[in-house]
Structure 1
Amino acid sequence: MAKVYQDLRTFLDTLEKEGQLVHITDEVMPEPDIGSAGRAASRMPNGPAVMFDHIHGYPAGRRVVTNVHGSWANHALMMGMPKTASTKEQFFELNRRWDLFPVKPNVVSRDEAPCKEHVIDHDVNLFDLLPLYRINDQDGGMFISKASIITGDPSDPDNFDKMNVGTYRIQVKGKDRIGMQCLAMHDIAKQLAEAEKHNEPFPICVTLGNAPLVTFMASTPVGYAQNEYEFVGALNDGVPADVVKSDLYDHLYVPAGSEVVLEGYIMPRVRTCEGPFGEFPGSYSGARAQCEAKITHITHRTDPIFENLYLGMPWSEIDYLMALNTSVPIFKQLQPDFPEIVAVNAMYTHGFTEIISIKPRYGGQATGAAFRLLSTPHGMPYCHNVILVDDVVDPFDLNQVMWALSTRVRPDKDVKVIPNCAGMPLNPSEEVPGMTAKLIIDATTPVDPEPNKRSVELLRDPVKTAEYTKIISDLMSQK
């Protein structure tokens, strides 16, 4: 059974024991120190989480942590795997646990929930509670970049499966007001539109500093009627996630171990300027009219830890967080129709570019798999480029992918461009935000009836390669 974390603090303890958490003990300014540290740590090989123990202007004990998910070592530890586990090994372990879904969450009483230790139900002031800061210097304000937002379906509020746990960027607009980006392809946008039909306030809970797999699932593209908490239990290798009922809303449940829970409502049909913000494509997104919420009630742990992440030129923490949680669900969606697919690598900029490893049975099947990917709920808006490689190519090893592109692609027949497709407005390459062309590159070996005018014999690994891989790995681990 894998090690399971029901809150952020126990995971931070593990990171510290494994040498994957460092403390900045000197007093720092929120800007530019925290963003700078997040940028620096995510660029380091197996970069650690960084805890700031003393923030200027805030009382002792008010800490900030960043880069919690910001390396493959931390990502592996999140799942209870050795920190040396490869990306490919983590992909297939996630794929195995995915099949355990659904695992119903464990609903704990209010007295058992650490997130309910303290209550603020009047004079709400986010600036007093959280050491807020601009993540990048041209951000339009102070952003919360790593919250999990819990909402329900207004037309079916008691349906637990339709309760959404999502991650959307949040701009703090005032002491009790936040702006939130809810793009049309997001589940929350569908729910908000239903509430606004009736001009009704839309209940929300915003949770900060969550168990690592809660944060992971909140940023994972799953079906609208698939509950994220039930996936958390599956990825915990069958151990249910602990949740507790919201103080204000009987139909919403929050992670019991959260550091901070903000409760309130999105104001119907209100849109105010939000942004610009340094986004995951590595560029500023500009400013748009977005919805606005009022926070009326807060619960939090003693000395709450404010967890935030840095977004910048890839790779940064958000790229690690949204790498395999994009790859595995798309793999699961493709497999029923294309069992020949071995793995999917959708790690690059939240799946803007995706690599499919496949063993085609007939000519043209690989291209068909690309079209299927481009019709998935996430692939349709996000994916711009699809690369197809043979099953012998590890899609997570870019050296092998580049070999396939270099030796298997004839530009006159293997490169296809499809115009006027759905896009993702945050992609700076789109001339009209939300519309784009799609690129498919077929780097697989031709299969009958596709002509293959020159066959080749591939080099194979020497017979004892796997044996010596283990020997050398064991010797390295002893150092």
Structure 2
Amino acid sequence: MAYQDFRDFLNTLQKEGQLLNVDEQVNLEPDISAATRALNNLGDKSPALLFNNINGYEKNKTQIAMNVIGSWPNHALMMGMPKNTPLKEQFFEFARRYDQFPVPVQREETAPFHEVELTENINLFDILPLFRLNQGDGGFYIDKACVISRDQEDPEHFGKQNVGIYRLQVKGKDRLGIQPVPQHDIAIHLRQAEERGQNLPVVIALGCEPVITTAAATPLKYDQSEYEMAGAIQGEPYRIVKAKDADLDIPWGAEVVLEGEILCGEREFEGPFGEFTGHYSGGRSMPVIQINRVYHRQNPIFEHLYIGMPWTETDYMIGVNTSVPLYQQLKEAFPNEVVAVNAMYTHGLVAIISTKRRYGGFAKAVGMRALTTPHGLGYCKVVIVVDEDVDPFNLPQVMWAISTKLHPKHDAVIIPDLSVLPLDPGSNPAGITHKMILDATTPLAPEQRGHYSQPLDSPPGVDQWEKKIIDLLNRQQS
């Protein structure tokens, strides 16, 4: 099921009716962001957009792809599943593949992006069609690139090479600003390099196969390789190729690759930027990347990510792959109790956990464990815990559990002054917040309150009829 490269996935979207070609001439601003925002407003089955006629560029030679995995059908296709696969089924299939980790990589000598190579007179304004995503952004941003860096204290450990997605502001023709959020791995690598008085080598890959973009956006453990996780997700080894200027590996199918280094001790003003929280983040002093080498395919396709008030492609891209690691890490602590986890809302600032209970107060302990997972430490501001028969992906069921099972006096637990990513606009000071666990499970002895002795059961055969109706709907639509 593995896609050869970014273009192979776009071709699949085209065949499946999940790619909309825009051939009328558009302006970089505001048309591309406006069209993508409009598409996001139309629901969770939206196609990707491919802009083929951009004012100021030769038609069909400069193309911009947006919303590439910005819907549940596109997310299913990313996994090689039918586009109409239900979300909950995608979650459990992702969890099954997550358990196949690690799948060793496949190393290649050359890659398609080696077609064009630049080491002098690099000008990102010539190479990339740059535009502001939101009108209040402080400049041009690249926000869907895989950024590769390596642990400086243990460079031989393949798993400690990180592939992450970080916002990059274009600061000059060969300079970028980067925001290394403290909870993310690249911040550790940068601290290690600067403690040695050294620059940190990095590689930036744009227009990658969606499987590595998905792995790069997954909150893995520090020593887990995103490349080996990409192999697990796609069911066969992921292909990589060595960088020329640094001991780093690059996604083989990328459209554009920038090699450079984060300059030791240098900081410049960065921001503001319209973020996934639906708010602008303010300007901050951030590190700077010097670009020393560029590769790209002939007539590369530039992939971008519109980000703003949820839901946008960000929420589809990081929904399931945020939920599954949290689920797996909770299963390590509570293997027989945790049923499913939905951490799809605003990058998991809210998480919903379905669990069995062993005794009174057990659900609150599950919620506290969620706060100490790698993702929970920087996110998971509100954790809602529901019974095992409540589907955490079915929000009406979750709201029913909160409405009928939660007692404000006994079931709302507030823990003061914990860490959260500084982009959370509610944190005060930035990066610090109170967190809350809402226990919306049925009280169990020795807890005794409420009147829950006569629950209403569904009629027999509901599960079988769900499958029959889905099959009938699929046949009707095909």
- TM-score scaled by length of structure 1: 0.97
1:179 partnered with 2:183: no
1:27-68 CA-to-partner distances (Å, cap 9, x unmatched) read 211111111122122222201100000212223311100000
* Alignment-derived partner of residue 316 in structure 1: 312
- After superposition, give the CA deviation of every residue in 1:287-342 in whole Å (9 maximum; x if it has no partner): 00000011111111121011011111111110111111110001111112112010
Q: Give the corresponding residue for 1:72.
A: 72
Select the residue among 275, 287, 300 that pairs with 2:283.
Answer: 287
The farther-off stretch of 152-161 and 22-31 is: 152-161
- 1:160 maps to a residue whose letter is F
What amino acid is aligned across from residue 124 of structure 1 in structure 2?
Answer: I
* TM-score normalized by the length of structure 2: 0.97
Instruction: Give the equivalent residue in structure 1 for 2:109.
Output: 109
Unaligned runs of 5+ in 2: none
Does 2:270 correspond to 1:274?
Answer: yes
- Mapped pair 1:343 → 2:337: no
SS in structure 2 at match of 1:336: helix
Q: Give the alignment partner of residue 228 of structure 2, picking from 227, 230, 238.
A: 230
Mapped contact 2:241–2:252 kept (Cα < 8 A): yes
Following superposition of structure 1 onto structure 2, how do residues 33-432 of structure 1 map, counting pairs within 5 Å?
A: 33-45=31-43, 46-60=45-59, 61-110=61-110, 113-237=111-235, 239-249=236-246, 251-339=247-335, 340-432=337-429
Could you say what secondary structure the match of 1:476 adopts?
helix
- Matches of 1:337 and 1:198 in 2, distance apart? 38
Contact 1:6–1:241, Cα closer than 8 Å, also in 2: no
Runs of 4+ in 1 over 4 A off after TM superposition: none
- For the residue of structure 2 that corresponds to 1:334, the secondary structure is helix
The separation in 1 between residues aligned to 2:275 and 2:206, in whole angstroms, is 19
Q: Which consecutive residues of structure 1, in runs of 5 or more, have no partner in the other structure?
A: none
Q: Distance in 2 between the 1:179 and 1:414 partners? A: 44
Q: What displacement does 1:72 show?
A: 0.5
**Structure 2 Cα separation of the partners of residues 122 and 69 of structure 1:** 35
Contact 1:41 1:70 in 2 (8 A): no
Mapped partners of 1:410, 1:223: distance in 2: 35
Q: How many corresponding residue pairs?
A: 473
Instruction: State the secondary structure of the residue aligned to 1:233.
Output: helix
1:455 deviates by 2.9
Q: Is the 8 A contact 1:144 1:171 kept in 2?
A: yes
User: Aligned partners of 2:469, 2:378: CA distance in 1, in Å?
Assistant: 43
Shift of 1:460: 2.2
Identity percentage of aligned residues: 49
The aligned residue for residue 17 of structure 1 is: 15
C-alpha contact 1:202 1:267 (8 A) present in aligned 2 = yes
Offset, 1:453: 4.6
Could you list the per-position Cα deviations for residues 93-122 of structure 1 after superposition, in whole angstroms to 9, with x for gaps in the alignment? 000001110001100111xx1121111111
CA distance in 2 between partners of 1:43 and 1:240 (Å): 36
Is 1:459 paired with 2:459?
no
Q: Does 1:473 align with 2:436?
A: no
Q: CA RMSD in A?
A: 1.1
Distance of 1:388 and 1:130 partners within structure 2: 45
